[in-house]
Amino acid sequence: MQKLDPRGRKVKILATTGPASNSPEMLRRLFKAGADAFRVNMSHGEHAQHAKTMAAIRELEREFYRPVAILCDLQGPKLRVGSFKDGKAVIRHSGHFTLDRNPEPGDETRVELPHPELFGLLEKGQRLLINDGKIRLRVIKADDEKILCSAEVGGVISDRKGVNVPDAEIPIPALTEKDRKDLAFAMENGADWIGLSFVQRPEDLAEARKLMVGPDGKPRGALCAKIEKPMAVRRLDELIEMSDGIMVARGDLGVELEPQEVPPLQKKIVNATRLKGKPVIVATQMLESMIESPAPTRAEVSDVANAVYDGADAVMLSAETAAGDWPEEAVTIMHKIAVQVEQDEDYVERVRLLDTPPDPTTADALSHACMTIADTVPIAAITVFTGSGSTARRVARERPSVPMLVLTPEMRTARRTALLWGAHSVATKDIGSFEEMIAKGKRMALRHGFGTAGSKLIALAGVPFGTPGSTNLLHVVTLKGDELDKRED
């Protein structure tokens, strides 16, 4: 067993697996380059391959003695047009085009829309975006059989292209039959997070939560709501409340909204999630050019840097690591960008531009005190003893200037907090007394590179130990060189 040094940054990197990266050797390289967590995209690939990938990630945990989060991302419902006589057709700019329920192959004037729930729902003036917005239709008239549209932007349309409906709440569940099977697979194979796609309303999350409960009645994973539809933005606060974390899925947001609307919306989502003390991931096209190029554009570097300055818990690589030519290089450059930003003398001030006043609870008051003490006294790290991870989330919400060493007896908690800002998670044996807590905190800090002899640590925990929600103890200790021993923790 070997150990990696602490990453030297607080923001986390989530790398998507795929044909370019799902071999054990490449996963190992990505992990060593800086990936803290891996996303398994259930839209592509077979369960057999996903199981091998997840098993290989667990081997990395054992090899490097560091918990790794696995996020299984569900495909969600996909709206698609039917097929065409010649496999494709051309829709004329400003011409009329009809979507109907006729299953016969389409042509340049019409095509089937095999989604009966849309008929009778759409109204005059609403938009239909096809093939990621490359074709833009505006509804002229809609009834239970046909939707007559004007083509604001025409072009080539081919079989089974996707359809986005940004102006209406579609009465379809967020979980398809495929999603239910994929979710069951993810739970059986120990996924730590589930990414729920095309969320529109809180009820979508409630359905997924029920399916994530294990035989013991406890949740088997954390739920991440992907914000990618305007309807979700309108109910953002409810969705944050119902979820364990949020992903800013800028790809589909950029299709359903005007491009210039996405950057301020990204900041709004990040801030709203941070205020609730839950992890927020910024995703999609962050280093897109590195799918084919060994170096990113300057604009992409600035995009990643801005997400780090905004205080996002994690930044995500998609096709760059899943199918790109330079997966390891993409992780490496994202790591370098994050480290450089966090070394900026103005970083702490900028990441705290969002005011996160503590709730009127002892746990929040102590978490806020950790930040204040670390700003006042030279502190090497904050050691947080937690069973559920809630104390770690409270401390991370304050964005302290020093790293957080999360010590927990629950491996699933250690894995989930691998996506949490500033957290270095360690699964360790439980503690039973104050003296044991202090001694173990010192040992683990020295063992994992958080301080040396003479360094000060903040210890945060709850007494009685093992009682969820009992955070009520803060203690500052000084490390001694002889406190590191070889006992099993």
Indicate the angle between helix axes 24-33 and 47-64, nearest 10 degrees.
50
Kindly write down the DSSP assignment for every residue of 303-333, as one continuous string: HHHHHHHTT-SEEEESHHHHT-S-HHHHHHH
Pairing of strands 96-100, 146-153: antiparallel
Neighbours of 171 (CB within 10 A): 9
Count other Cβ atoms within 10 Å, centred on residue 20: 21
The catalytically annotated residue of 16, 53, 98, 284 is: 284
In contact, 414 and 427? CB cutoff 8 Å: yes
Buried b (16+ CB within 10 A) or exposed e, 86-120: eeebebeeeeebbbbbeeebbebebbbbebeebbe
Retrieve residue 261's tokens: 């609307």
39 is catalytic: yes
Q: Are strands 155-158 and 88-91 parallel, antiparallel or unpaired?
A: antiparallel
Q: Which of 226, 250, 397, 440 is catalytic?
A: 226
Does the annotation count 284 as an active-site position? yes
Alpha carbons 418 and 420: distance in angstroms, whole number: 6
Q: Could you say which of 39, 127, 161, 229 is catalytic?
A: 39
Residue 176 · residue 42 · CB < 8 Å: no
Here the tokens at position 180 are 């239910």
Quickly tell me which residue has 């800013």 as its tokens. 248
Concerning whether 136 is annotated as a catalytic residue, the answer is no
Q: Please spell the DSSP secondary structure of 337-350, one letter per residue.
A: HHHHHHTSTTHHHH
Residue among 29, 80, 146, 267 flagged as catalytic: 80
Residue 235 a catalytic site member: no
What is the CA angle 467-472-476, rounded to 5? Answer: 120
CB burial of residue 372 (10 Å; 0-12, 13-18, 19+): exposed
Give me the torsion for CA of 68, 179, 46, 40, rounded to 10°.
Answer: -20
Neighbours of 264 (CB within 10 A): 9
- Look-up of token digits 């030519």: 325
The residues carrying an active-site annotation are: 39, 80, 226, 284
